Structures are given as structure tokens and as C-alpha cells.
Amino acid sequence: MATTISTYSRNDYINFSVLMVLGFLIIPMTVNSDYWFTSILIPWLCLALATIGQQVIMGYTGQLALGAAGFMAAGAFACFNLILRVDGLPFFGALIISGLIAAAIGIVFGLPSLRIRGIYLMVATLASQFFIIWVIDKFGWFKNYDSSGIITAQDIVIFGRPYTSPVDMYLVILVVVTVMTILAINMARGSTGRNWMAVRDMDVAAESMGVSLLKTKIQAFAISSFFCGVAGALFAFTYLKSLEPVAFDIKLSFKILFMCILGGLGTINGAFIGAGFILLFPVLLNYLGNNVFHGAIDATIISALEQVVFGVLMIVFMIYEPLGMARLWENLKQRFFKKKDK
């Protein structure tokens, strides 16, 4: 242990390679139903990316911020307008600039965090959610003066080749999510992440060690919003295939918050686990309702059941395992490998 100075262990590299082979080769080759790509894999990756953004600000920096969907909307509409108005701007370029625009907005709405904390900050950041949506609705320019209220997103074109089939779009997202996840892990494990966590755990002590609260919080807000912005753009361009402010309402913000908490605060893999769970659980319930109980249970009851189970799970996790499903997974792995050793 003492000699490993690199941020990554051998296990990390093995896990990474396995995931890459799975994501880039096995899934595209074996999964041949569009349903899986358009309804599960694509939204899962997009929302996981947004959840990483939420993790940065809430899980790592400990700032209760609510309003991820607002920044997603900012990113989505920024991307739409950039592609619409800037000729020859490559898709990835538009994606990065969208993220930066979301980050700039995030900095402004992060400023209250210097004065208020906890539940009050949550209320203050909630303003961003409503403000961004309101601005987009109010000023027609953002929607290119489209009267219908729903705009179709442009096709993703990279180097002249359109990526419109579900598999193609999945691969585009996978590339973006992979790169950004690596960046997030690098930051979380490096000095940047340590500063965030220091502010989260004991801000007075962090300050006495020379960590600037102002700089660290604002930085975390900016990075968090960047991730949400890019995720929003991807979400609109590949999953929704349209742009409407309603899609990025407060419900989506809460969904991302739940993904963050259930997955495990302060973990990157938890973002993927949490997003996967919240996305797949209703699908599973529906499947059970249709195939096991053969429609004996009413669909409304099933959707109510879904809410009940989420609520109970949230409470249970908050009390017994604040580190969420990512922690359960770690424990399971540890037990599994220890048995193997013997």
C-alpha cells in the first residue's frame, strides 16, 4: 500500500477494462432491441451523468442544492441554440460550451452558499430551477420563436456522419459519459476532491488549513452545473429528441436527488447505481404486474406502490446506510472476495 503513489490500483484498471469491453463491444453487439437503448440505456447514462453533478455539490461538497434539472435545461437549450446559430460548430464543441454556460449560471446561483447552509440553501438553490425554466419560457429567442412550445432537437452530426439510430446515439453518450466519469473520479480522488470533502466535513478546520470556502464552493457549483448541463443536452438530444422546458421540471430535480442519495452520497459509482435503480424499478414493477400477477393489480396501484417503496427506501437508507447502495455493493464485494481468499 505504502508504495502505490498512483491514484489507481490494479483492480481499478481491471474494472475499467471490463466495463469498457461490456459497454462498447458486448452491449452493442448483443442487445438488438431498440427499446433497451432508447428507454433504458440512454436515459440511464444521461441521468447518471447529471447525478454525478449532484454528487459533486451534495455528496462531496456537502451543499444541499436542489435544482439539477434547471441546469440540465440550461445545457439543453444552450446546445440547441449553439447548433442552430453557430455554423460549423461540431457537436462535441457545442456540448462543451453548453456545459460551460450551465457552469456560469451555476456560479451565480452558488453564491448564496457562502452565506446560508443546509435546508435554507436548498430553498435558495430551488430558485435556480424556477428561474431558468421561466427565462426559457419567457423569452422566445431561446426556443427560436417556435409557437408550438415543443421544438425538435437537431440530429447529432459528428464529422459529417449523422448519429441517429439508437445504437449510434448510445455510443455517442457512452463516449461522453466515460470521459466525464474519469474526470470526475480524478477530481474526487485528487486534491480537488479532498478540498470539497474538507469543506463538507468541517468548514472551519478546512479554512484554517488554507482552503478557501469561497473558491471551493463556487468551484464545486460550477463543476456540478457543468455536468448537469452536458447531461441535459444529451438527455434532450438523444432521449427526449425534443426541447421543452416542462421536461426539466422540479420532479426531475427530485429524481436526481433521490438517485444521488439512494446511490450513496459521496460516491461516483453510486451515481450509476442510484440512477439505474430509480429508472429500472418502475420497469420491474410493471413487468411483475403484467407477467406475474397478469394484470390482477391495477396500474394505478403499481405506480402508487412505486412511490411508497421509494419513500420507504429513502428513509431506510438515510437512517441505516447514508452511504447508500454503493456501500452495500462494497460490503457485498468484500464479503465475496474474502470468502474466495480462504
Partner 1 sequence: MTDSQDRNFKIGNPILEVNNISLSFGGVNAITDTSFNVLEHEVRAIIGPNGAGKSSMLNCINGIYKPQQGSIAFKGNKLSKITPNLIAQMGISRTFQNLALFKRMSAIDNILVGRKLHSKASFFDVAFQLPKARREEKINLKKCEEIVEFLEIEKIKDTPVGKLPYGLQKRVELGRALATEASLLLLDEPMAGMNVEEKREMCRFILEVNEEYGTTMVLIEHDMGVVMDISDRVVVLDYGKIIGDGPPDEVRTNQKVIDAYLGVSHGE
Residues at the site binding partner 1, with contacts judged by CB under 8 A: 1-2, 5, 7, 183-184, 186-187, 190-192, 194-195, 197-198, 200-202, 204-213, 219, 223, 266
Give least dist CB 266 to partner 1, A: 7
What is the C-alpha separation between 278 and 286, in angstroms, rounded? Answer: 13
Amino acid at 120: Y
User: Within 10 A of 84 (CB to CB), how many other CB atoms are there?
Assistant: 13
Of 198 and 259, nearer to partner 1 (C-beta) is 198
Of 224 and 238, nearer to partner 1 (C-beta) is 224
Give least dist CB 223 to partner 1, A: 7
User: Within 10 A of 319 (CB to CB), how many other CB atoms are there?
Assistant: 8
Give least dist CB 175 to partner 1, A: 16
DSSP H helices, 86-165, are: 91-110, 119-138
Give least dist CB 265 to partner 1, A: 9
Maximum Cα–Cα distance across the chain: 68
Of 107 and 213, nearer to partner 1 (C-beta) is 213
Q: Is residue 61 within 8 Å of 194, Cβ to Cβ?
A: no
Of 209 and 296, nearer to partner 1 (C-beta) is 209
Of 17 and 186, nearer to partner 1 (C-beta) is 186
Of 182 and 309, nearer to partner 1 (C-beta) is 182
Q: Which residues contact 17 (CB under 8 A, 6 or more apart)?
A: none
Give least dist CB 297 to partner 1, A: 41
What is the C-alpha separation between 132 and 253, in angstroms, rounded? Answer: 13
What is the C-alpha separation between 31 and 82, in angstroms, rounded? Answer: 33
Give exposure, 30-41, as e/b (b: 16+ Cβ within 10 Å): ebeeeeebbebb
Of 143 and 200, nearer to partner 1 (C-beta) is 200
Of 2 and 292, nearer to partner 1 (C-beta) is 2
Give least dist CB 13 to partner 1, A: 14
What is the C-alpha separation between 35 and 33, in angstroms, rounded? Answer: 5
Q: Which residues contact 282 (CB under 8 A, 6 or more apart)?
A: 303, 306
Give least dist CB 11 to partner 1, A: 15
Q: Which residues contact 295 (CB under 8 A, 6 or more apart)?
A: 289
- Cell 420491474 locates to 284
Give least dist CB 10 to partner 1, A: 17
What is the C-alpha separation between 110 and 214, in angstroms, rounded? Answer: 10
Of 43 and 59, nearer to partner 1 (C-beta) is 59
Q: Which residues contact 61 (CB under 8 A, 6 or more apart)?
A: 196, 197, 199, 200, 216, 217, 220, 224
Where is 152: in which H helix or E strand?
strand 151-152
